Amino acid sequence: MPAQKTLFKAKQKNNTFKIESRRYIGSKAKLSDWIMYLINSEIQEKKSFADIFAGTASVTNSALNHFETVITNDFLHSNNVIYKAFFENSEWNKQKLLEIIENFNHLESKIIGNNYFSENFGNKYFHKNTAKKIGHIRNEIENLKIELTDKEYNILLGSLLYTIDRVANTVGHYDAYFKKEIQERKLELKLIEPIRTDKVSIFQQDANQLVRKIKTDVVYIDPPYNSRQYSRFYHLLETLVKWDKPKLYGVALKPEPENVSEYCKVSAKNVFKDLVNNINAKHIVVSYNNTYNPKSNSSKNKISLEQIETILNKRGKTKVFENSHRFFNAGNTEFNNHKELLFITKLDD
């Protein structure tokens, strides 16, 4: 291919966000090939797959290459919007959305007034001017809603979520922000790159409730591993998506708790047992890692690997596979010999 054409292609590629272009604790983006390789080697029945703690949906996305139908689920509002933006098989007009974001990208912060987002998060999670633009764009997306299809609305919101991740004054989540002076960074909205598929069913439910209603060949389980609540770490994305402008509390400016996961509490073992016992599938696949003895308490695993294996073994013969993986680390915890594990259980008839 001539050099100029290659360059153009590369530029075009950079103009959209792919599903895995997200900072997210516990994302399996770098492990999904390994996970699918093991699933393919170990499992024959491969019609339907359920990713019930889907997070970034990186595993859902890989499963699309191997299964006829895929269920994707997570209880966070922001993840649900992202799944609809990427996977929902419905009408949208790219040119129309490009024109809308082109206007957003020419906004001048000087002529935008303060808004809920800038008043709360300005000069904290974002530079004041950037926060003004984000709040203004969020309002505009709501105002445009009647002219947009659901898919277009979700693509705009999803694109906003992916874009702000690039300019946030954080390590990648919203449990805290850097306290030093913030440099203003250009807020340049890019569209997410939706995936053409009619295979995905999207849910936003508690995983333990969902498994009672579905039946698939494979259920993939990737719960939170420790006391870090996803709804608290990504509260700002939840607030931006819901846009119900809640009262916020504390230095980290979090709303009242919602979607608090039992998997982050001492009850984790019992909810995991309940989950596994209520799965209607041929195989259960579980991701987990061996950070059972880290220095910081919040990184400590809530369920031990032995407990997981015992619970899974009650449903059928379980094999364990391992891979080393650089774990999310905000700098205050050392993980030696960190290993990512995959359990594959063939359920007894």
Ligand X SMILES: C[S@@+](CC[C@H](N)C(=O)[O-])C[C@H]1O[C@@H](n2cnc3c(N)ncnc32)[C@H](O)[C@@H]1O
Binding status of residue 289 toward ligand X by CB under 6 A: no
Out of 157, 207, 281, 284, the residue judged to bind ligand X by CB under 6 A: 207
Distance CA 153, CA 265 (A): 35
Ranges of H-type helices in 15-68: 32-42, 58-63
According to CB under 6 A, which one of 26, 122, 135, 194 is a site residue for ligand X?
26
Q: CA–CA separation, 207 vs 271, rounded Å?
A: 10
- Closest to ligand X by CB, 159 vs 229, is 229
Min. distance of Cβ 219 from ligand X in angstroms? Answer: 13
Does residue 286 interact with ligand X by CB under 6 A? no
DSSP 249: B
Our CB check for ligand X shows the closer of 137 and 275 to be 275
Using CB under 6 A as the binding rule, the residues of this chain from 229 to 248 that contact ligand X are 230
206 binds ligand X (CB under 6 A): yes
> Exactly one of 261, 289, 299, 301 binds ligand X (CB under 6 A); which one?
261
- Write down the least CB distance from residue 31 to ligand X, Å: 8
- One-character DSSP codes across 108-169: -GGGSPP-HHHHHHBTTTB-HHHHHHHHHHHHHHHHHGGGS-HHHHHHHHHHHHHHHHHH-S
Q: What's the token pair of residue 107? A: 């906004």
Two tokens, residue 201: 């069913």
Is residue 343 within the footprint of ligand X (CB under 6 A)?
A: no
- Alpha-carbon distance of 291 to 337, in angstroms, equals 9
Applying CB under 6 A, which part among 2-10, 64-72, 162-170, 221-229 lies near ligand X? 221-229
Q: Residue with the closest Cβ to ligand X?
A: 55
| Dist. CA 48–CA 264, nearest whole Å | 28
Cα Rg for the chain, rounded, in angstroms? 21
Question: Considering the rule CB under 6 A, would residue 222 count as an interface residue with ligand X?
Answer: yes
φ, ψ dihedrals at 164, nearest 5°? -70, -25
Q: Which stretch binds ligand X (CB under 6 A): 11-19, 53-61, 121-129, 312-320?
A: 53-61
Nearer to ligand X, 137 or 192 (CB): 192
Should residue 263 be labelled a site residue for ligand X when binding is judged by CB under 6 A? yes
- Environment class of 87 (CB within 10 Å of its CB; exposed 0-12, middle 13-18, buried 19+): buried
User: Interface residues for ligand X in 56-115 (CB under 6 A)?
Assistant: 56, 58-59, 74-76, 79
Q: Give the list of residues 6+ apart from residue 228 with CB closer than 8 angstroms, or none.
A: 25, 175, 264, 298, 299
328 binds ligand X (CB under 6 A): no
Q: Identify which of residues 162 and 230 has a Cβ nearer to ligand X in the complex.
A: 230
Site size toward ligand X (CB under 6 A) is 22
CB neighbours of residue 307 within 10 Å = 15
Residue (127 or 302) nearer to ligand X, CB: 302
Binding stretches for ligand X (CB under 6 A): 24, 26-28, 53-56, 58-59, 74-76, 79, 206-207, 222-224, 230, 261, 263
